[in-house]
Amino acid sequence: MKKFFVFLMLGSVLITSCKNGCGKKGSDQPTDDSTTYNKGERADTLITNPQVDSARIRLSKDSVLTSLTKEVLTIFKDKQYTKLDSLIHPEEGVRFSPYATVSADDKKFSREEFNALVTSNKNKKINWGSFDGSGDPISLTAAEYFKRFVYDANFVAPEKYDINNFIETGNSINNLKSKYEGSDFTESHFSGSKKNGGIDWKSVRLVFKEIGGKYYLVGVVHDQWTI
């Protein structure tokens, strides 16, 4: 009889305890739903990936350079040269190199000089350097030079295109990277024909330099097979 009474008392205690605590989480769990959050999801939002960030910056930069390249080449294609003014580097101007080797003797123009070149002096022949092979002076008007040593192929829609990488090189010393150290460049390229053994390939490289978060044109380098 005593044992039965003890069991009865224990059962009563268990039932009471279960009513007060069964099914409830520990006291260290928040009871206010408004203060809870998915820790895994929150952690993901705080993680930064340097490699991903670097890739995004590179893609953004490449997009800007590609857009600028198309804009510059379209100006030469449409022969609307005065539109180039705002794209020329405001401090360094723009240099034109007829072949891969960039020389101090290559013609260089400030914004104002370039504007005069394609307007008041558009019919004036100037010496742009020497023709490969013959060594004769490249005595051409601005429009004649641009047709021969800038836009001598449909570079707005090139066969090949790259950024900060050379697609093709010939016999001329390619010193672009040393002459334009710290700058970026694009190359628009057409391969040579089979009947000529591929030696009639041609490229135009546009060199850009950043200033104040904006890229400006500092160099136009034409390249082709040279003797």
**Residues of the chain above pLDDT 70, percent:** 76
| Closest by Cα among 128, 117, 123, 82 to 222 | 128
Say if residue 34's pLDDT is above 50: no
| Closest by Cα among 55, 102, 62, 108 to 217 | 108
Q: Is residue 127 part of a domain?
A: yes
pTM over 0.85, yes/no: no
Q: Is residue 218 part of a domain?
A: yes
Q: Is residue 123 part of a domain?
A: yes
Could you list the residue range(s) of the whole structural domain that residue 114 is in? 50-224
CATH code: domain of residue 135: 3.10.450.50
The number of distinct structural domains making up the chain is: 1
Q: What is the mean pLDDT of the chain?
A: 83
Q: Is residue 30 part of a domain?
A: no
Say if residue 32's pLDDT is above 50: no
Residue 15 backbone dihedrals phi, psi, to 5 degrees:
-65, -40
Q: Is residue 170 part of a domain?
A: yes
Specify the range with the lowest mean pLDDT, choosing from 33-37, 51-55, 94-98, 122-126: 33-37
